[in-house]
Chain A
Amino acid sequence: MENNPLKIKALDIILGLILMSAAFYIFYRIKTGLHYKWNWGVIPQYIIRYDPDEQKWVSNLILQGFLTTIRLSIWSTFLAMIFGTIMGFLRTSTSLFNRLAGTAYVEMIRNLPPLVLVFIFYYFVSDQIMPVTGIDDYIRGLSENSQAVLSFLFASPRYFTAFLSAVITLAVFEGAYITEIVRAGIESVEKGQWEASSALGMSKWQQMRHVILPQAFKMVLPALAGQFISTIKDSSIVSIISIQELTFQGMELMASTYMTFEIWIVVSILYLVLTLSCSLIIEQLERSL
């Protein structure tokens, strides 16, 4: 890493001015052309508000949606890792059947628009599976304490099944991309490693576990972390199946208050806060590897 001290040249100044004036022009247009009545004063109360009855600060719609988005992203990524690893093994397997199964999964998912996939999955697949498991009644029958724990980790009992469906749907979708990352990782380990471990008399599974995967994992860690950011962004898609995440809560608020711009801006900033902080963490991770 070379350390270049920043030098500002004439070209930079000109470019900076052009960008500044463009930004000013856009703001000017919004101000004059749209006749939009800005009303920033009421926005903070929708994020967090002081409840006089309970004498404490409580989260409101936007913050609740924000937390739901985080939960959704974490659980989906976790599940997608499992799907992706299994399918990645299949994709690099020696048997033709396994390879075909893995390929079919990846190509199916990658070549469908996520919106369509979410709809199909939610109304057809998860609706057939969820009632059979009886999970809804089970959750409702739990004690107060376990319900509180579940609400903190997943979602409140009333939205639990919908949340679970959304997590599975997102995981299936993201899993296809993780499959490819895992496959690339496994294939990036040179052939000699396989041969050497095989010469030591290891079984296929032992080779994978002790030799190949540790090296592959190191290779794909940055890509996996990048996929996590994609999951955060893709989680906004499940707003169409009425999961109470950030985008959905924002839209509901807009429908109530008609403050379109303010709410979209706040929602974008919150997404940025989430994804940018993840990006920074990944950068640190890559340096430490």
Chain B
Amino acid sequence: MKKKSLFLQILVTIMVLFFLAGSSYAGEIQNKLVSESTIEQVLKRGVLRVGMSTFVPWAMKDKKGELIGFEIDVAKKLAQDMGVKIEFVPTKWAGIIPALLTGKFDVIIGGMGITPQRSLKVNFTVPYEYSGMSIVAHKETAKGFSAIEDFNKPEVTIASRLGSTAAEAAKKYMPKANHRMFDDEAQAYQELLNGKAHAVVGSAPTPVFHAIKNPEKLFIPLKETFAKEAIGFAVRKGDFDTLNYFNSWILVHHSSGWLKEREHYWFETKDWESQVQ
């Protein structure tokens, strides 16, 4: 009996020790995770590095060579709220996710639509903006087109930007058409103006702006946007603290109405045009 109880005591003691060690070990891991999260690194460095790509009116260069746009306002406000400096890293759209994964910046704030495939590679925050695809067509080559079905033909050429959700949407909604991808949106629109493409698919409101700019050549065949998408920040996987911070930040500014107000300024007015040209 006595022997047994001694044995039990020893066993229990050992188990308790194990638990204590285990829990302190877990605490250590937790501390390590916290200190290694991107947010902590940013605060330590005093600089938030944001990956972005030029995308009118999300982000563009003004006359002074400074970056302006909806996205730029969001990133600046974010840095201001964190109490750090902001650094933009202009990156080619096609290589923006690899650049994030290899740590060339801390977060992508670049009008990136949340898609299942992208979510396998990066973590997205809750949406801070919603966008839809719109289509702008050439008055001569796409005469009388008024529905998506009109564009879904093998003889129709549709231009879009490589790696963008617009390109994916174009392929999904018009699988039969002939698709041409360009590195930048400007090239896609030039192709359309030259009459080499029937239409360009892009995130609203840019296609509409182009139709307004070139009324003698372009028109908007569909009144409604199609393929609605949610736009979020993208961060590296496995970094819960950072994701949580950004989510909270977005929620705060959704409820304060600040995001709504900025969105109205950049997407529904043209007051900013004079800053660019």
Contact = CB atoms under 8 A, between A and B. Distances in A.
Interface string A214-256: 0000000000000000000000000111101000100111111
Given A255-B186, A258-B189, A123 B98 contact: yes
A246 to B, nearest CB: 14
Interface in A111-166: 119, 123, 127, 131, 137, 140, 158, 162
Contact of B87 (A158, A244, A253, A257): A158
A256 B95 contact: no
Nearest to A165: B104
A64 B65 contact: yes
A42 interface: yes
B187 A260 contact: yes
Interface in B201-221: 210, 214, 216-217
B185 interface: yes
B95 A242 contact: yes
A255 B65 contact: no
Contact of A241 (B95, B190, B193, B276): B95
A253 B61 contact: yes
Interface string A29-53: 0000111110100100110010100
B91 A242 contact: yes
B64 A60 contact: yes
Interface in B157-210: 183-187, 189-190, 193-194, 210
B56 A36 contact: no
B46 to A, nearest CB: 9
B63 interface: yes
Nearest to A256: B60
Given A36-B193, A260-B187, A255 B60 contact: yes
A137 B89 CA distance: 17
B63 A49 contact: yes
A61 interface: yes
A254 B55 CA distance: 11
Contacts of B91: 242
B179 to A, nearest CB: 20
A135 B138 CA distance: 51
A257 B276 contact: yes
A256 B193 contact: no
A159 to B, nearest CB: 8
Interface residues of A, number: 37
A15 to B, nearest CB: 31
Given A162-B104, A242-B91, A242-B92, A256 B98 contact: no
Interface string A11-39: 00000000000000000000001111101
A201 B187 CA distance: 66
Contacts of B186: 254-255, 257-258, 260
B193 A251 contact: no
A239 B194 CA distance: 26
B99 interface: yes
B277 A254 contact: no
B63 A45 contact: yes
A40 B157 CA distance: 30
A242 B61 contact: no
Given A123-B98, A158-B49, A256 B89 contact: no
B90 interface: yes
A242 B193 contact: no
Contacts of A255: 53-56, 60, 184-186
A258 to B, nearest CB: 5
Contacts of A251: 183-184
B65 to A, nearest CB: 4
Contacts of B255: none
A3 to B, nearest CB: 48
Interface string B249-277: 00000000000000000000000000011
B99 A242 contact: yes
Contact of A42 (B65, B183, B190, B277): B277
B103 A131 contact: yes
B102 interface: yes
Nearest to B105: A158
Contacts of A253: 61
A242 to B, nearest CB: 4
A267 to B, nearest CB: 14
B32 interface: no
B45 interface: yes
Interface string B38-67: 000000010101000111100011111100
Contacts of B65: 46, 60-61, 64
Interface of B: 45, 47, 49, 53-56, 60-65, 87, 89-92, 95, 98-99, 102-104, 183-187, 189-190, 193-194, 210, 214, 216-217, 276-277
A-B pairs with lowest CB-CB distance, top 5? A255-B54, A256-B60, A254-B186, A242-B91, A61-B65
Given A137-B45, A255-B55, A256-B61, 13 more contacts: A35-B216, A39-B277, A49-B64, A123-B102, A140-B47, A158-B89, A239-B92, A252-B54, A255-B56, A256-B54, A256-B276, A257-B60, A260-B187
13 contacts: A34-B193, A46-B63, A46-B65, A158-B47, A240-B92, A242-B91, A242-B95, A251-B183, A252-B90, A255-B56, A255-B60, A257-B186, A258-B210
